[in-house]
Structure 1
Amino acid sequence: MKCFCEQQETYELKVEGDVGADPIWCNQCGCNFDLDDIPFSKELKRELSEWATKYGEWIDWDLDQIIENGAEIEEEHNRQGAYLTEKVKLELDGRYKIKFSPSSMGRSYSNNKLL
C-alpha cells in the first residue's frame, strides 16, 4: 500500500482508533489509509468503521475528563479492536505484518482530568 515512507510503500500496518480517522495506519510513517482502498470484505469494513466511530466515547470532550465507567468502556473498545485486528490478519492472509495499538487515553487521566 502506498504511504509516506521513504520507499513509498508499506507492508506493516496497525489497527488503531483515533477521532475522525479510519482505523488502519502505516506502522512506520503513520499514514492513515482509507478503508475503501484496502481489500477487506464489506462486512469487515463496516465493523471497523463502526468500531472507529466509538473511539473516545469514554471521554467527555467538553469537560476534558473521563466519564463514569470510562475505563471499562475503553477496555471493551480495546478488546473489540484486538478481535478486529485478528479478522484483518485473516482477510489480508499474510500479505502484511499487522499489529493492534490499543487506546491508553484512560491512563492519561488523573483525578478524571486530562494531564
Structure 2
Amino acid sequence: MRCFCENEGLDLKLEADFCPDPLWCCKCGCNLEIDEFSISSHLKSEIRQWLYNYEQLSNYEARSEELFKFYKEHNSQGLQLAEKIQSELGEQYTICYYPS
C-alpha cells in the first residue's frame, strides 16, 4: 500500500467516489489501489461492482423516492463490504465505511 503518510497508514476508509478504487487512507486522504491488498479476488469483484453501480448514478434520472432507495441499498452494501474487507485484512487494519 502506498500513500503519503510517513508510516504507511493502517486506518482505511471505504467510500464510493467517481474514481478507480474506493479505498482511502484516513490519515492523508490518498486513494489506494485495492489490488495492493491481500483480499480475495471475489471480494475485489464485489467492490468493483458496488463502485460501478454508484458510478451509474450519474445516468440515473429518478424521482427522489427512488434515489433514496438507491442510496439506502448502496450504503447497506458498502457497510457489508467494509465488514468483509476488515475480516479478510484482519486486525492489522481498521476499515471504516463512509456513506454516500
**Do the structures match in fold with TM over 0.5?**
yes
Give the residue type in structure 1 aligned to 2:36: D
Which stretches in structure 2 are left out of the alignment for 5+ residues? none
After TM superposition, list the pairs within 5 Å mapping 1:72-87 onto structure 2: 72-87=69-84
**What do the CA deviations read for 1:15-49 (whole angstroms, capped 9, x no partner)?**
11001331111012111111111111000000001
Greater RCO, 1 or 2 (C-alpha within 8 Å, sep 6+) = 2
Residue in 2 aligned with 1:28?
Answer: 27
Aligned length: 98
TM-score normalised by structure 1 residue count: 0.77
The structure that is strand-richer by fraction is 1
SS at match of 1:13: strand
Counterparts of 1:57 and 1:70, CA distance in 2: 12
Q: Which residue of 1 aligns with 2:3?
A: 3
Aligned mates of 1:67, 1:94 — CA distance in 2: 40
Trace 1:1-115 onto structure 2 (pairs within 5 A).
1-5=1-5, 7-60=6-59, 67-68=62-63, 69-103=66-100
**What is the alpha-carbon root mean square deviation over aligned residues?**
1.7
Q: Which structure has the highest helix share of the two? A: 2
Identity among equivalent positions (%) equals 39
